[in-house]
Amino acid sequence: MSLRSPAPASTSGGPAPFGSPGTAPVRRATPRRYLMCPPVHFRVHYAINPWMHPHKPVDVPLAVTQWEALRDRYTALGHTVEVLPPRPDLPDMVYAANGATVVDGRVLGARFAYRERAEEAAAHLEWYRAHGHRRVREPVHVNEGEGDFAVTATWLLAGRGFRSSPLSHPEAQEFLGRPVIGLDLVDPRYYHLDTALCVLDDSTDTEVMYYPGAFSPGSRAVLARLFPDAIVATGADAAVLGLNAVSDGRHVLLPQAAVGLFGPLRERGYEPVGVDLSELLKGGGSVKCCTQELRGLD
């Protein structure tokens, strides 16, 4: 993996227009708190998305090593990682992003679409309650946490079509007090919003990358209207779950195989950090799926 600093900002005169050579904007990382769950009990024993093949072997020690490398990356970047205790009966628990959506210190719990994962919801809620958080809602409608909710400075982008119920959108808006923008997912490979879209700078409402092919024509038009300067990913980068990334405002941790995204990220002043989570890809997830962000929790 190669890490390169972004091109220096222009020092001559006023701001150069976006996209001019050598004028990448300066991006600022802000310290984050993440919740992760180690894949010690990770297995692919059932198939609830097209990535999962129960007959294909999974190397659990390798999954753990890869997960630890991701956790260590976060801490090396100055972020805090909290650990959710894994349960032997819940092999998908490593995908911690699905367990809740935490915004402005409010915790909207999850309700899973498949019974195989149903009990993860209570394990997450228990963790928040045990850590003294009181602004916690157990949802009425199916939502798979940050799998389908993404946060910008103002909005909650919300996926639907495969997992989260459309009814979870008004529920999230009411509880979190943020305007929801519903987006329709149409390709079963991109069954959660976080497999098709990543917010790169959540201090703005403009900085995202996404794969248009994952969305309905109307949702594509909405994305083009809201994010005219977005990084638009190719099918090849989406197909290695390159959009399943986590950004701290500057560093973007993403699957290392998403080679086509590195250049566009650098051009915009981000530092791409390639991560190998090959074992967890076998469950249909990567960097973002393993990482729940705790926004505004003390």
Contacts 24+ apart (CB under 8 A), 219-222: 219/182, 219/183, 219/184, 219/185, 222/181, 222/183
Q: Is 1 exposed, middle or buried (0-12, 13-18, 19+ CB in 10 A)?
A: exposed
**Site membership for ligand ARG, residue 293 (CB under 6 A):** no
| Binding flags for ligand ARG, 36-75, as an x/- string (CB under 6 A) | ------------xx--x-----------------------
| Binding flags for ligand ARG, 109-138, as an x/- string (CB under 6 A) | --------x---------------------
| Binding flags for ligand ARG, 147-186, as an x/- string (CB under 6 A) | x---------------------------------------
Q: Considering only residues 101, 168, 195, 256, which one is a binding residue for ligand ARG as defined by CB under 6 A?
A: 195
Q: With CB under 6 A, what is the number of residues at the site for ligand ARG?
A: 16
Q: How far is the CB of 44 from ligand ARG (least distance, A)?
A: 8
Q: Considering only residues 95, 175, 190, 227, which one is a binding residue for ligand ARG as defined by CB under 6 A?
A: 95
**Site membership for ligand ARG, residue 192 (CB under 6 A):** yes
**Site membership for ligand ARG, residue 289 (CB under 6 A):** yes
Contacts 24+ apart (CB under 8 A), 163-170: 163/112, 163/113, 163/191, 163/192, 164/113, 165/141, 167/140, 167/141, 167/142, 168/111, 168/139, 168/141, 168/142, 168/143
Q: CA 85 to CA 123: how far, in whole Å?
A: 9
User: Which one of the listed residues 192, 198, 251, 290 is annotated catalytic?
Assistant: 192
Q: Which residues are catalytic?
A: 192, 289
